[in-house]
Structure 1
């Protein structure tokens, strides 16, 4: 066997190995990077001070609702009843961040007042 043939074969093998690892690294870097890993179905609305809705994009294939509570952040499930209500309100105010407080107000039941017995 010729020495040049062996070195050329080894070089070709190393080159193909390096190109395969680059493809693997590229696949890992394109993985979903969602900010919300765990989601809750309900929160105490009185403690919510702000919210952010992130639509589906190339980095994360789901809608994310991030709530800023008085002492921490929490992610709300977009398929839950409060998540759908918040998204509907956000579309209703035409994505205007200055009107976010409208979506955070609690809807109180309006009905007949209870009579107090004396």
Structure 2
């Protein structure tokens, strides 16, 4: 097996590792975070392999495994959508908490001045 074929087989293996990683996504933030971390290291390895392959080999590989790449991208988008929804919910909750804090502080400030007046 030539060096080029070995690199292509290694890249294929990494691609399917990445695909399986995204397929095992459990639709939770913790799962998404773990997958993003693992996917990043796999993508770095793929990038290293791409530096050793010719442009023709990379193009042929991409065309051969286009559907796998598209499935990975789709799962990645789903995970990002979940993160964006959770981020929006968290921001809304923080806004509500801040409003409650403002009401409480306003009430306490008014009551403190009343207590001071009563003591005088």
Question: Which structure carries more helix by proportion?
Answer: 2
Normalised by the length of structure 1, the TM-score is 0.34
Q: Which has the higher contact order (CA 8 A, sep 6+)?
A: 2
- What's the TM-score once normalised by structure 2's chain length? 0.33
